[in-house]
Chains A and B, each alone.
Chain A
Amino acid sequence: MRWMKPPWNLRLVRVSLNGALRSGVGGAAFIDVEAATIRELLSRLIERYPDMQAQLDRGIAVAIDGVVFRDDWSQPLPLGAEVVLMPRIEGG
């Protein structure tokens, strides 16, 4: 789902979710969250969807306009950015 400008509030960021993360928000493919940084986004998510805590504990990453952030929660969420919540990746 590409980002579409939310008409009712310019501070909202549309966040896409994939895989098991959707179960934490009742199956939704995307949600709108008022947040200026990744840290704010995660705080709002847990406030609204307590089930997300378990998902966050398992490890998540946030992609902003295609750049994946696994750790830096101070990253700003620019208005109109494509934001995707995804599982945290490790490797071999």
Chain B
Amino acid sequence: MTHDNSYTGQKFKVIGNRFKRPDGVDKVTGRARYGADASAPGQLVGLVLRSPHAHAKIKKIDTSKAEKLPGVKAIITSDDLPDLTGGARDMANILENCMARGRALYDGHAVAAVAAVDNQTARKALKLINVSYQVLPHVTDVDEALKEDAPVIHDWVYTGGLDPKPTTPSNAANRTQMGHGDVDAGFAAADVIVEHTYKTEQTHQGYIEPHACLATVSPDGSAEMWVTTQGPFTYRTVCATLLGLDIAKLKVTSSEIGGGFGGKTHVWMEPLALALSRKTNRPVKMVMTRDEVFRASGPTASTSIDVKIGAKKNGKITAATLEMRYQGGAFPGPWAMLACMTGFACYNIENQRSVGWDVIVNRPKVAAYRAPSAPMAAFAVESALDIVAERIGMDAVDLRLKNVAKEGTQAPYGPIYGPIGIEAALKAVKKHPHYKARLQKGQGRGVACGFWFNIGGQTCVDLNIGTDGTVNLAVGTVDVGGARSSMAMIAAEELGISYDDVRVSVADTASLGHNDTTEGSRGTFSSGMATIFAARDAINVLRERAAKMLDVPVEDVVWQDGEARATGKGHGNLPVLSLKDIAGKSANTGGPIAGHNEVVADGAGMGFAAHICDVEVDNETGLATVARYTVVQDAGKAIHPDYVEGQFQGAAAQGIGWALNEEYVYGADGRLQNAGFLDYRIPVCSDLPFIDTQILEIPNPNHPYGIRGVGETSIVPPLGAVNNAIASAAGVRMKHAPMSPIRVLDALDEASVESQVSAG
């Protein structure tokens, strides 16, 4: 059924309030059940043996000693996971990433897995498995991987997007180009041209909860999996495909989720748990260690980016180009392509070209990380824009406003924007008390912008009205950022009842139709849309029931403020029926009352943000500390402002960590050197100031409430904002993130030497 999803300007009573979160008590008391909190009678412990080499041929895996160890119930290798993908390359890559097939492609790549009666036995068994490796040449750096003498990792990868098609394999999986106009003419017309190369290091989403699951496969082919995931339906599809299970026979239940940020949109060891359970006929529980999460789940890409921007003295940008290299780990990915689509998205640049190279290296398979690929491109663009502003003597925010994208601007990826909020965000920045505040001695201030598409997708919900008039709403998107509260508010708004009368649960895959993964900032947009339509569906049923109770035609019954009223001639003396009145009589009017909706939620509204950052730089140590930070972002409509602000703050905090400290460090041997939170340091509360927020509400015309996704956009600006603030504070312009103390100190030393040379 097609629904009208147009924005209507509806006036709200419930939406926009700050209700208590429904999951709060469970989470603060420890009652909430996460991925590792499930257990089953007779369960085994599953552990994975991982490659210690960055790249190696697996000559032989001898499991005989391990199999003889008492308590070991099964050992699997790739031999136990035949390729059932039917030539689907992306799915085959997932299978190979879950378990190496003849070659270990990165440090941490799974080569075997054990199921045993307890953790100690499983660990002993791992040590008894003898793997004969032939170490192969490796490459982990994105630029090194493109050199002619680099080891070519896959003989089946030929660079896509080139004409003519290449005849030899390469580590460059794809070349993408986006843009429009004539960049050569644009640069020729420029008064000032700025051209630099920027690098960003690989970071991890850093979710506190590691990957964990409990898998049970029965001899009859039915199976269940309890798992921490952003996409139970996607996990079901992928696991069923890889293992040859019927989708309907595999029930996946998503646990509470302790962070995902894109990293839990992909399967890692879950198919192994199912395979071990199938082999042992017992439940198998697997929980990754933090070391495994870093080495063998999906961090973001490291990058190398050339940016060139030409502008007139009046600040008008005449041309801009990006040449970007993104490593996707050991398999091809779409990451550079996404960067091509996002790099210049905040600006109206008539002549622009973005070229992206997706590169394969000996690192773990890259996964999405909150607005994937956009932060790195924005780091280059936003840093370069400040240099342009400095060169022409223009305020950096005014430069951005001079070139800002508006409704009618052509996006880098082709379409013309509808109503968008980046101009409003920049204007709000200029008016913000933070922007007007005087800086302390030693501080500097930077501003940067960010963009993310946001998406919709397949969604369905069930809304069931109990006999006492309270409501259960089952949704298929995972609650990663307040969905249960927001959906309860939307249902209450539509039905005209109290927020406290609606209870929302995340359904398992056997209880609801397919829902796409909760990614791309789609949860509130998509499930919100489905909830609106499901509630309206239920209202139609309520009107029919009220018509029976009042003995009037249904056409004469209207639904207002949570009550059914008979309108029209002769109905003036009829009683008004509340939802509770109607629900209480449901047995006598036709049975249970429910509303359902299945929708493809297209028309997601683009997200834009502008950030203000103040930093202090210690010239002795190179330590940059964020002193004040403000996020301004367009939410379309903030359903529950607390959660929206939380998304802004969380995304900014992750971006600041990326900007200042987080990075994967690989040794010359191709092994990850800092696979733990002691050596890979994410910002904690004491590292950050309170992050101020300002919500803008520019309605998305393609959602009844005007909702835009809010979860990702604000991870995009921090790298540029921090860099511009460091430049303002310390007078050095960093070209390499993270801008850790050692890099800042090196830059300060270099600037000092240059200063002495020019003075001498």
Contact = CB atoms under 8 A, between A and B. Distances in A.
A19 B453 contact: no
A7 B176 CA distance: 32
Given A91-B519, A91-B520, A92-B371, A68 B602 contact: yes
Nearest to B334: A87
A92 B262 contact: yes
B174 to A, nearest CB: 6
A89 B520 contact: yes
Interface stretch (B21-29, B272-280, B408-416, B538-546): B408-416
Most buried by B among A67, A68, A86: A68
B702 interface: yes
B415 A82 contact: yes
A84 B341 CA distance: 13
A17 B179 CA distance: 10
B160 interface: yes
A91 B340 contact: no
Contact of A91 (B163, B177, B454): B454
A68 to B, nearest CB: 7
A17 B261 CA distance: 30
B604 interface: yes
A72 B416 CA distance: 19
Nearest to B418: A66
B371 A91 contact: yes
Interface string A48-92: 000000000010000101111111101100000010111101111
A20 B178 CA distance: 9
A43 interface: no
Given A19-B340, A72-B600, A92 B519 contact: yes
B455 A1 contact: no
A66 B417 CA distance: 5
Contact of B337 (A19, A85, A91): A19
A72 B601 CA distance: 8
A90 B520 contact: yes
A66 B416 CA distance: 5
Contact of B265 (A19, A20, A90): A90
A6 interface: no
A65 B457 contact: no
Nearest to A64: B415
Contacts of B340: 19
A67 B415 CA distance: 8
Contact of A20 (B160, B367, B369, B517): B160
Most buried by A among B418, B458, B602: B602
Interface string B508-543: 000000000101111000000000000000000000
B516 to A, nearest CB: 9
Interface in A1-51: 1, 16-20, 23, 27
Contacts of A66: 415-418
Contacts of A92: 205, 261-263, 265, 367-372, 519-520, 712
Interface string B340-355: 1100000000000000
Interface in B665-722: 702, 712
B414 A18 contact: yes
B180 interface: yes
Contacts of A23: 160-161, 163
Contacts of A74: 2
A85 B418 CA distance: 17
B337 A20 contact: yes
Contacts of A85: 414
Nearest to B205: A92
Contact of A67 (B90, B418, B452, B453): B418
Contacts of B371: 91-92
A19 B178 contact: yes
Interface string B258-298: 00011101000000000000000000000000000000000
B340 to A, nearest CB: 6
A8 B505 CA distance: 56
Interface string B1-45: 010000000000000000000000000000000000000000000
A65 B600 contact: no
B525 to A, nearest CB: 11
Most buried by A among B205, B367, B456, B517: B456
A63 B414 contact: yes
Contact of A70 (B338, B416, B602): B602
A13 to B, nearest CB: 14
Contact of A86 (B163, B367, B415, B418): B415
A1 B458 CA distance: 31
B654 to A, nearest CB: 10
B414 A16 contact: yes
B176 to A, nearest CB: 5
A92 B455 CA distance: 11
Contacts of A1: 180
Contacts of B163: 23, 27
B584 interface: no
Nearest to A59: B334
A17 B415 CA distance: 10
B415 A68 contact: yes
Contact of B600 (A19, A27, A63, A71): A71
A33 B702 CA distance: 26
Contacts of B369: 92
A68 B178 contact: no
Most buried by B among A66, A67, A71: A66
B190 to A, nearest CB: 23
A72 B602 contact: yes
Contacts of B180: 1
B502 to A, nearest CB: 27
Contacts of B102: none
Most buried by A among B265, B338, B413: B413
Q: Which 8 A-B pairs have the closest CB atoms?
A: A92-B262, A91-B520, A63-B415, A84-B414, A92-B368, A92-B370, A71-B600, A69-B602
Interface of A: 1, 16-20, 23, 27, 58, 63, 65-72, 74-75, 82, 84-87, 89-92
30 contacts: A17-B414, A18-B413, A19-B178, A19-B413, A20-B175, A23-B160, A65-B415, A66-B417, A68-B603, A68-B604, A70-B600, A70-B602, A71-B600, A72-B602, A82-B415, A84-B415, A86-B341, A87-B334, A90-B517, A90-B520, A91-B262, A91-B370, A91-B452, A91-B454, A91-B520, A91-B712, A92-B205, A92-B265, A92-B368, A92-B371
Given A87-B334, A91-B455, 17 more contacts: A18-B414, A19-B161, A19-B176, A19-B413, A20-B175, A23-B163, A63-B414, A65-B418, A67-B418, A67-B602, A68-B455, A87-B341, A89-B338, A90-B368, A90-B455, A90-B519, A92-B265
